[in-house]
């Protein structure tokens, strides 16, 4: 009996897990005909027209919102490292942007975006979010586009700094890292471990630098120190090692991280394909890796 074609293929489409579209888009971008999305288009028409990006959102459970804020205060310094590791959007409009994660730049243009600020507890978090909504800067809490935030729908912290990944294997890596970061933050909060020092301007700079370079060359820590990508990731793995071991994730995460360092980020692989076959080869890479994740 013949097998049915994939759902996308049945409609003349192919699935491509990529942080941003490599091809040019000239036709107007359709917007879902609901009040919320129509109001977003009215608020920022050009941003909506260019919101052709795909991120990976990872929800990790927390006991309550108080502890969720404590988690945000502690994981924020590691978000640039995840941005660099997960970079999968170097092309935009048929051209190399020069950024490993152009999606990070595009998403960062909204008024409440990028790494989250430090909060003085849950009451401070709620007050500041209410002020943003009341001031008309955002229409609702759904427009809190920080790279890590409290979910309004689930009892979770939502980590959303990563580009969507080419392969399921890589998505598993980031799920494991996110869970370990949250578990480590909860443990540190319970032990009253001092919060990491992190000037906001340096955290923003580290985030931009990671989006620009991925894992190529040096990266910035949130304190402004330049480290090789391998050294920074070694620090990350040392930081979360107990949580990885407790969850039984050490082997799986370590193996996938080793593979990532050996093969490069998805952005590196896209650029390698482009160098050998142009934009057509990039399209072949991202569709083949998505449809046959074991081959990518």
> What pLDDT was estimated at residue 22?
92
Read off the pLDDT of each residue in 255-260 and give the average, rounded to a whole number.
Answer: 95
Residue 240 within any structural domain of the chain: yes
Residue 287 within any structural domain of the chain: yes
Q: How far apart are CA 84 and CA 260, in angstroms?
A: 11
Model pLDDT for residues 136-176, shown as the tens digit of each residue: 989 999 999 999 999 999 999 999 999 999 998 899 999 99
What CATH number corresponds to the domain at position 171?
3.30.590.20
Residue 293 pLDDT > 60: no
Please count the structural domains in the chain.
Answer: 1
Model pLDDT for residues 19-59, shown as the tens digit of each residue: 999 987 777 788 999 999 999 999 999 999 999 999 999 99
Residue 195 within any structural domain of the chain: yes
Residue 113 within any structural domain of the chain: yes
> What pLDDT was estimated at residue 296?
44
Residue 64 pLDDT > 80: yes
292 pLDDT band (50/70/90 cuts)?
A: low
Read off the pLDDT of each residue in 191-220 and give the average, rounded to a whole number.
Answer: 93
Q: What is the DSSP string of 64-128?
A: -HHHHHHHHHHHGGGHHHHHHHT--B-EETTEE-S-SBHHHHHHTTSSSEESPPP-SSHHHHHHH
Q: How far apart are CA 152 and CA 174, in angstroms?
A: 22
Is residue 45 helix, strand or coil?
A: helix
Residue 102 pLDDT > 80: yes
Read off the pLDDT of each residue in 112-131 and give the average, rounded to a whole number.
Answer: 97
Residue 143 within any structural domain of the chain: yes
> What pLDDT was estimated at residue 222?
83
Residue 2 within any structural domain of the chain: no
Residue 62 within any structural domain of the chain: yes
- Please give the mean pLDDT across all residues of the chain: 92
Domain residue limits at 158: 7-291
Residue 296 within any structural domain of the chain: no
pTM over 0.95: no
290 pLDDT band (50/70/90 cuts)?
A: low
Closest CA to 92 of 19, 15, 165, 167: 19
Over its C-alpha atoms, the chain yields an Rg (Å, rounded) of 19
> What pLDDT was estimated at residue 169?
86
């Amino acid at each position: 009996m013949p097998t049915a074609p994939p759902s996308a293929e049945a409609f003349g489409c192919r699935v491509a897990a990529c942080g941003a579209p490599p091809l040019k888009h000239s036709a107007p971008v359709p917007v879902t005909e609901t009040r919320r999305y129509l109001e977003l288009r009215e608020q920022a028409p050009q941003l909506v027209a260019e919101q052709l990006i795909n991120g990976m959102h990872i929800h990790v459970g927390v006991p309550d919102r108080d502890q969720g804020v404590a988690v945000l205060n502690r994981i924020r310094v590691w978000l640039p490292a995840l941005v660099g590791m997960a970079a999968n959007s170097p092309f935009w409009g048929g051209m190399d942007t020069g950024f490993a994660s152009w999606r990070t730049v595009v998403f960062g243009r909204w008024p409440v975006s990028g790494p989250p600020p430090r909060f003085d507890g849950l009451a401070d978090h709620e007050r500041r979010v209410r002020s943003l909504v009341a001031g008309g800067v955002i229409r609702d809490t759904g427009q809190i586009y920080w790279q890590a935030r409290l979910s309004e729908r689930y009892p979770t912290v939502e980590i959303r700094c990563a580009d969507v990944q080419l392969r399921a294997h890589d998505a598993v890596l980031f799920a494991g890292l996110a869970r370990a970061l949250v578990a480590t933050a909860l443990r540190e909060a319970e032990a009253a471990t001092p919060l990491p020092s992190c000037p906001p301007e340096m955290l923003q700079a580290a985030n931009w630098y990671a989006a620009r370079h991925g894992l190529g060359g040096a990266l910035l820590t949130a304190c402004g120190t330049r480290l090789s990508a391998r050294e920074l990731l070694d620090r990350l793995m040392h930081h979360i090692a107990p949580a990885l071991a407790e969850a039984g994730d050490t082997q799986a995460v370590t193996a996938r991280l080793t593979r990532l360092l050996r093969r490069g980020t998805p952005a590196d692989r896209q650029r390698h394909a482009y160098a050998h076959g142009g934009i057509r080869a990039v399209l072949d890479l991202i569709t083949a890796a998505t449809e046959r994740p074991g081959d990518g």
